[in-house]
């Protein structure tokens, strides 16, 4: 009987994993100027637009606003940025990583309120904000993570090759590097949770200890809390990028910026 129960448990676990998938909901117009990151908020989506070279200070970048169904409400809501990437929201302020500084935008009017310089930064990429309002920003070119408190940045972690995606969950910070998913505890102890085939770009918790992870080249994974990776989407043959994803936890919707394809695609996580 014990053997039978164990077999049934294993079959149920495998079946549960097999059922995880992405079902396409919609795709926006293909007019977005190189969308790199999507941030879901209560009324819709913020989308960072590079509209130029990924690491060039050229003033061509900006932020677009979309509604929940992918309609572009304002493709030029914020302009004059350079290569904006990851974003975080705190008390009606939008924090945006832009090469060497974090730009703070008033969400009520789309105006840039300030720019927080990050000393030595040359490749600021993703942003996450913890439950206390502390901002973390990765520098992919320098292999560092910086922490921002009270408008001032300081080095938090270093020696993280190709560091990109960040997500604060409780007192832990989850980090995507060239090949690894790393959990950093509050005392800065680092533990490798999983290894990906390609460098991770975006990471979003799904609320049960699991995550959805995107890789820029065209892969999206489901990461179980035990470290198991399941491929949800592979668009590499179609040459469709899957950059820094956004996530709506209430409706389990994953928002995928397609970079050079100039659109955002929404999928339901099954």
Distance CA 34, CA 165 (A): 18
> What integer pLDDT is reported at residue 132 of this predicted model?
97
Q: Indicate the helix (H) or strand (E) that contains 36.
A: strand 35-41
Question: 146: which strand partners?
Answer: 137, 155
d(CA 247, CA 38): 8
Phi, psi dihedral angles at 7 (to 5 degrees): -65, -45
Q: List the chain pLDDT tens, one digit each, 270 residues.
A: 433 333 333 333 444 445 899 999 999 999 999 999 999 999 999 999 999 999 999 999 999 999 999 999 999 999 999 999 999 999 999 999 999 999 999 999 999 999 999 999 999 999 999 999 999 999 999 999 999 999 999 999 999 999 999 999 999 999 999 999 999 999 999 999 999 878 899 999 998 999 999 999 999 999 999 999 999 999 999 999 999 999 999 999 999 999 999 999 999 999
For residues 42 and 26, give the distance between their C-alpha atoms in angstroms, rounded to a whole number. Answer: 18
Please state, in angstroms and rounded to a whole number, the distance separating the CA atoms of residues 112 and 75.
Answer: 16
pLDDT attached to residue 199: 86
Residue 254: which of 123, 71, 70 has the closest Cα?
Answer: 70
Distance CA 93, CA 31 (A): 26
Look at residue 19 in the predicted model and tell me its pLDDT: 80
Tell me which residue of 144, 128, 242 sits closest to 196, measured CA to CA. Answer: 242
Q: What is the pLDDT of residue 207?
A: 87
C-alpha closest to that of 168 among 198, 222, 115, 204 = 204
- Torsion over CA of 259, 204, 177 and 157, rounded to 10 degrees? 120
Would you state the pLDDT for residue 15? 40
User: Was domain 2-269 assigned CATH 2.40.110.10?
Assistant: no
pLDDT at 18 (0 to 100): 52
Is-contact 176 198, C-beta < 8 A?
no
Rg (CA), the chain: 18
Phi, psi for 61 (deg, rounded to 5): -80, 170
Residue with tokens 């969400």: 107
Give the 3-state DSSP-derived string for 125-190, with helices as H, strands as E and coil as C: EEEEECCCCCEEEEECCCCEEEEEECCEEEEEECCCCCCCCEEEECCEEEEECCCEEEEECCCCCE
Q: Report yes or no on whether pTM surpasses 0.85.
A: yes
């Amino acid at each position: 009987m014990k053997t039978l129960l164990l077999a049934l448990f294993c079959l149920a676990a495998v079946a549960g994993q097999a059922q995880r998938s992405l079902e396409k909901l919609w795709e926006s117009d293909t007019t977005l100027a190189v969308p790199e990151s999507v941030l879901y908020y209560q009324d819709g989506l913020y989308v960072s637009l590079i509209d130029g070279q990924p690491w060039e200070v050229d003033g061509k970048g900006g932020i677009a606003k979309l509604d929940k169904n992918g309609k572009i409400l304002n493709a030029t809501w914020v302009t004059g940025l350079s290569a904006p990437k990851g974003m975080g929201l705190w008390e009606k302020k939008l924090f945006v990583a832009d090469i060497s500084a974090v730009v703070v935008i008033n969400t009520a009017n789309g105006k840039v309120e300030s720019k927080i310089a990050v000393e030595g930064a040359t490749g600021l990429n993703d942003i996450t904000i913890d439950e206390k309002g502390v901002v973390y920003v990765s520098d992919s070119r320098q292999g560092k993570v910086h922490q921002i408190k009270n408008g001032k940045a300081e080095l938090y972690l270093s020696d993280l090759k190709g560091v990109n995606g960040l997500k604060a969950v409780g007192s832990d910070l989850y980090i995507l590097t060239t090949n690894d998913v790393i959990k950093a505890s509050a005392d800065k102890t680092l533990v490798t949770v999983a290894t990906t085939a390609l460098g991770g770009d975006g990471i979003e918790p799904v609320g049960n200890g699991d995550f959805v992870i995107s890789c820029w080249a065209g892969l999206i994974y489901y990461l179980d809390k035990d470290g198991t990776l399941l491929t949800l989407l592979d668009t590499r043959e179609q040459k469709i990028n899957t950059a820094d994803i956004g996530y709506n936890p209430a409706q389990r919707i994953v928002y995928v910026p397609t970079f050079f394809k100039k659109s955002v695609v929404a999928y339901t996580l099954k």
